[in-house]
Chains A and B, each alone.
Chain A
Amino acid sequence: MTSVEFLKSELQIIAHKFPNVHIKYGYNNIIETHVIELLPLIEYTNNVELDRAWVPLSLQFMETFNEDVTFISSDSSLSVSNVIFEFNASCTDEKIFTEIYAALTNEPICYTFPVSMQGGHLIQNSNIDYLNTPVENLGDEVDYTTSYLAAAA
């Protein structure tokens, strides 16, 4: 088994265990080092279980193959520009963001707007002409009590 085959096999196991982690593999010819990028950064930084998976792998790899390997994330100056293989590629930042906030987009958001503001009043069904009308001349058109219902897009 070559060093790359070994990494592919071991990283596949890690990818299966951590489906939210996008794993990219490439080789840096400048420093002759295998580079593995783990995304997103927060998983690389804070996921202790993930550390327990890749740290022993990095040590075992160097012991077995006498080749350099480094595990990085998006904050590194070493990037994987030429991806040789990757796992959980669909696990992008946008997908994670959407999953977190998707529930919010299904529910209307109720919000009571303030009825007064500095220098004037909020006017229901207003058009631009009202902005030039002194507030004391508006009479019943000024609504001090209305609650507005806004739905998330």
Chain B
Amino acid sequence: MCIIVLNYLMSQFLEKSNQSLDSAKYLVKQQYYSSTVNRSYYACFQFLMHILFEKLKKDQAEFYNEVLQRPNGTHTWASKLIGNELARQNIEDYKWFQRVLPEFREKRVKADYYPAVISPDEGELSITRAESIINMLKVNFK
């Protein structure tokens, strides 16, 4: 029973990521494109956290303590730790990851905080991009 509860807790980021991606797919059908970008981006970020804690076995308390000591916050620190590991495993995927995640982050910030209109294509593309990043991480961190 304890193991089941522990597994349930440990997979929370995976579940959050799946729900965010499902939400993005629902939102794009409703033509809520800015929100689609937001949920797609967070599906990626939550999957990064899942990899970090589930696959790389990073201690959660240690992680959040490290974040507090740095200026750039959770997203930057998580992507940096994943990037380090990726560079060791697959240089081509690291090259792609270190470029595509900041691109996605900029799109998300613009969608949330800027008056820029997000097009249907950008909404669809954000889902595709999230799925690409998640799939790449699944391949590299089995």
Residues in chain A within 8 A of chain B (CB atoms): 28, 30-33, 35, 51, 55, 58-59, 62-63, 66-68, 70-72, 76-78
Is B25 on the interface with A (CB-CB < 8 A)? no
Is B106 on the interface with A (CB-CB < 8 A)? yes
Distance (Å) between the CB of A78 and the closest chain B CB? 5
Q: Given that A32-B72, A59-B83, A62-B83 are known contacts, is A68 also in contact with B102, CB under 8 Å in the complex? A: yes
Q: Which of A55, A70, A72 gathers the greatest number of chain B CB atoms within 10 Å?
A: A70
Q: Given that A58-B98, A66-B72, A68-B72 are known contacts, is A28 also in contact with B106, CB under 8 Å in the complex? A: yes
Residues in chain B within 8 A of chain A (CB atoms): 70-72, 76, 80, 83-84, 87, 91, 94-95, 98-99, 102-103, 105-107, 109-110
Distance (Å) between the CB of A82 and the closest chain B CB? 15
User: Which chain A residue shows the least CB distance to B79?
Assistant: A68
User: Which chain B residue shows the least CB distance to A54?
Assistant: B95
Distance (Å) between the CB of A11 and the closest chain B CB? 16
B99 touches A72 (CB 8 A): yes
A18–B5 alpha-carbon span in the complex (Å):
55
Q: Which residues of chain B are within 8 angstroms of A77 by Cβ–Cβ distance?
A: 103, 106-107
Q: Which residues of chain B are within 8 angstroms of A62 by Cβ–Cβ distance?
A: 80, 83
A66 touches B84 (CB 8 A): no
A72–B110 alpha-carbon span in the complex (Å):
19
A71 touches B71 (CB 8 A): no
Distance (Å) between the CB of A57 and the closest chain B CB? 11
Q: Which residues of chain A are within 8 angstroms of B91 by Cβ–Cβ distance?
A: 51, 55
A71–B102 alpha-carbon span in the complex (Å):
10
User: Which chain A residue shows the least CB distance to B77?
Assistant: A66
A70–B101 alpha-carbon span in the complex (Å):
9
Q: Given that A31-B105, A77-B107 are known contacts, is A66 also in contact with B87, CB under 8 Å in the complex? A: no
Can you list 27 A-B pairs with a CB-CB distance of less than 8 A?
Answer: A28-B102, A30-B110, A31-B102, A32-B72, A33-B102, A33-B105, A51-B91, A51-B95, A55-B94, A55-B95, A58-B98, A59-B84, A62-B80, A66-B71, A66-B72, A67-B71, A67-B72, A68-B76, A68-B80, A68-B102, A70-B98, A70-B99, A70-B102, A77-B106, A78-B99, A78-B102, A78-B106
